[in-house]
A and B are shown apart, each in its own frame.
Chain A
Amino acid sequence: MNVLVPLPVVLPLVAAAASVLLQRWLRVQQAFGVLACVGTLAASIALLARVESGGVSAVQLGGWPAPGGITLVADRFSAIMLVVSTAVVLAVLVYALGQLDAAHESLYFHPVYLVLVAGVSASFLTGDLFNLFVAFEIMLTASYVLITLGGSGAQVRAGMTYVVISLVASTLFVAGVGLVYAATGTVNMADLSQRLAEVPGDLRMALGLLFVCVFGIKAAIFPLFFWLPDAYPTAPSPVTAVFAGLLTKVGVYAIIRTQTLLFVPVGRPSVVLLVIAGATMVVGVLGAIAQNDIKRILSFHIVSQIGYMVMGLALFTLAGLAGAIFYIVHHIIVKTALFLVAGIIETATGTAALSRLAGLVRRAPLVAALFAVPALSLAGFPPFSGFVAKLALVRAGLEVGQGVIVGVSLAVSLLTIFSMSKIWGGAFWGSLTEQEVSPTPEAVPRPVPAGGARLRVPPTMLLSTAALVALSLAVAVAAGPLYALSERAAANLLDTTAYVTAVLG
């Protein structure tokens, strides 16, 4: 039995339990959490290396063979997701050390955060549809607690929306599992892959689309995303950052996994998914343009960017899926970094509202640089990671003659630039004393802080943000090998034999 596979789940889970016990000793608890995340990251990297050399790795938990027992499966796609997510999780945890006050931390931030990590890892690794539901629930319950951490008024209001919608999605998930079981008599995904192939195509498609909805609520695709921009910005910024970077991508992961392994569409490219992709891109970016607060702008961009990932999937080609995987990797890092910058701004100035910010390029040039790189990357500007990701999708789309969605994706990237420049022009440029005729009626004259001196930012926050920005640059530099890896992962997704064999023998 391969101990490496369950490690990314078990390690944070055990650490979470220990963390509860360490509640009294805050410093110890902090160090312990960081250590656990480092360990999880190391395990994930080792797992990726193992999968790269040895192919799909499956573990039958408790020694009960599939399809009866629960199987954890690591293939390239899941291993890549693990590595990226744990890297981000680690960076955000270090960041949180500088940002959260003791009051927040005493409200069980650390153990719950570690449980969230375990839930995310389990979602990537599980090879069982019902266990995926359980993994989702672990992750979601932890997220309910984190998003309402501190329990302020705005948080409770937004948190309630979030919890209610998530619960509805979870119920639909259970119902979906029930329907799948009714049709096939199994919940093991490798087994399902074979049995669903025998189910009539229409029913398989209906089931598949039901699951697109279930995961789509999490992944925030159009028209299921509305909860996200309301819920995310209210949480403490490290929480928002990790949600923004990770949680929606777990949904995307689940969509890609189930669409390629279980509910393989008959028609390719999938027109339904292409339409969803386009609509998600457009509506998301328009939402961003309408906003006036950094965190809300960024939240809408999450939605818009999800559209690109769905676009890659919808093409159902090697290049499309590889592009989608590369895009996810890029996006997780860049998006988290952007939210961390937003958190820095909020911590240092007390606001994230553009109407009350100005001139940061002078007061905090380093923060400006840390914003500019991921912002340009997000908009797909070269030579950053977002450009490579966009190029991969554009090529994949044109390769199969899908000019329309390519056109939409390029137009949306222009709108993304427009919206990012709004943040740049509003927060980083301009002067604090300037009296401008603002387009919004309630905009107040910009406040003049004492001297407009350099902003003071806790070093752990800067350090972890810089680390993520550096990581995103590394993604751009190593785009060649990374894209090749994405391609191999995509090949595994399109040809499921290796996956099925590894699980069922």
Chain B
Amino acid sequence: MNLGLAALVGILFSVGTYLLLQRTLTRIVIGIALLGHAANLLLLVAGGRAGRPPLITNEPGPAFVDPLPQALALTAIVIAFGAIALLLTLAWRSFVLHGEDEVEDDLEDRRIGRLADGARE
């Protein structure tokens, strides 16, 4: 186990979470991207210690590193890119429509929230 990498995974999750809890969409997207990096690193950590890249040659050498997590991470990276690109386009669209880079509250929910507040008084 590579403790340094494991710690970095924790740190990236932590920072990503902090950004997610913001209201500005750009920050939220950055947070998601950080979480994505963290998850990919986690896959790599799960594959064990570092080793020789899994390129098969006829020369003898140290043990190969586990190739499966690499393949999984690669797929995950590409998929995440597609989703984030879409999300950014939505953000652009939202800015075009509303003129602000914020995730607004749901109007109907706020209405019921007000009703409940009214009932409390």
Contact = CB atoms under 8 A, between A and B. Distances in A.
Interface of A: 130, 133-134, 137, 140-141, 144-145, 148, 151, 153, 156-161, 163-164, 167-168, 170-172, 174-175, 177-179, 181-182, 187, 229-230, 290-291, 293, 296, 440
A172 B38 CA distance: 10
A171 B35 contact: yes
Contact of B108 (A130, A167, A182, A296): A296
B83 A170 contact: yes
A164 B38 CA distance: 17
Contact of A134 (B42, B79, B84, B115): B79
A160 B39 contact: no
Given A141-B86, A174-B39, A178-B39, A160 B94 contact: yes
Interface residues on B, range: 35 or more
B112 A290 contact: yes
Nearest to B36: A171
A161 B112 CA distance: 19
A290 B110 CA distance: 12
Interface in B81-109: 82-84, 86-87, 90-91, 93-94, 97-98, 103-104, 106, 108-109
Nearest to B71: A130
A156 B103 CA distance: 10
A163 B86 contact: yes
B106 A230 contact: yes
A223 to B, nearest CB: 15
Lowest 3 CB-CB distances: which A-B pairs, in order?
Answer: A182-B46, A178-B42, A174-B39
B65 interface: no
B6 to A, nearest CB: 10
A157 B90 CA distance: 9
Contacts of A144: 83, 86-87
Contacts of A293: 108
B103 A174 contact: no
B112 A177 contact: no
Given A137-B83, A148-B90, A174-B43, A160 B112 contact: no
Contacts of B75: 130, 134
Interface of B: 13, 20, 25, 28, 32, 35-36, 38-40, 42-43, 45-47, 68-69, 72, 75-76, 79-80, 82-84, 86-87, 90-91, 93-94, 97-98, 103-104, 106, 108-109, 112, 115-116
A105 to B, nearest CB: 20
B72 A187 contact: yes
Say what secondary structure dominates the interface of chain B: helix
Nearest to B13: A175
Contact of B39 (A158, A163, A175, A290): A175
A174 B90 contact: no
Contacts of B82: 141
Contact of B43 (A163, A168, A181): A181
A160 B91 contact: yes
A156 B32 contact: no
A140 B115 CA distance: 34
B83 A163 contact: yes
18 contacts: A134-B79, A144-B87, A145-B86, A153-B98, A157-B104, A160-B87, A160-B90, A164-B32, A167-B84, A168-B32, A171-B32, A171-B39, A172-B39, A174-B40, A178-B46, A181-B69, A187-B72, A229-B109
B105 to A, nearest CB: 9
A164 to B, nearest CB: 6
A199 to B, nearest CB: 14
Nearest to B91: A160
Contacts of A134: 75, 79
B46 to A, nearest CB: 4
Nearest to A68: B68
Given A167-B32, A179-B46, A156 B97 contact: yes
Nearest to B43: A178
B106 A156 contact: no
A151 B98 CA distance: 12
A148 B89 CA distance: 11
Contacts of B45: 178, 182
Contacts of B84: 167
A182 B46 CA distance: 4
Given A170-B83, A178-B69, 7 more contacts: A144-B87, A157-B98, A163-B83, A174-B39, A175-B38, A175-B42, A181-B47
Contacts of A167: 32, 80, 83-84, 87
B103 A164 contact: yes
Nearest to A154: B107
Contacts of B43: 174, 177-178, 181
B72 A156 contact: no
Given A178-B39, A181-B46, A230 B69 contact: no
Contacts of B112: 290-291
Contacts of B80: 167, 170-171
A164 B87 contact: yes
Contacts of B20: 164, 168
Contacts of A158: 106
Contacts of A181: 43, 46-47, 68-69, 72
Contacts of A170: 79-80, 83
Nearest to A164: B28
Given A174-B43, A178-B46, A163 B87 contact: yes
A66 to B, nearest CB: 13
B94 A141 contact: no
A485 to B, nearest CB: 35
A237 to B, nearest CB: 17
B39 A161 contact: no
A153 B93 CA distance: 9
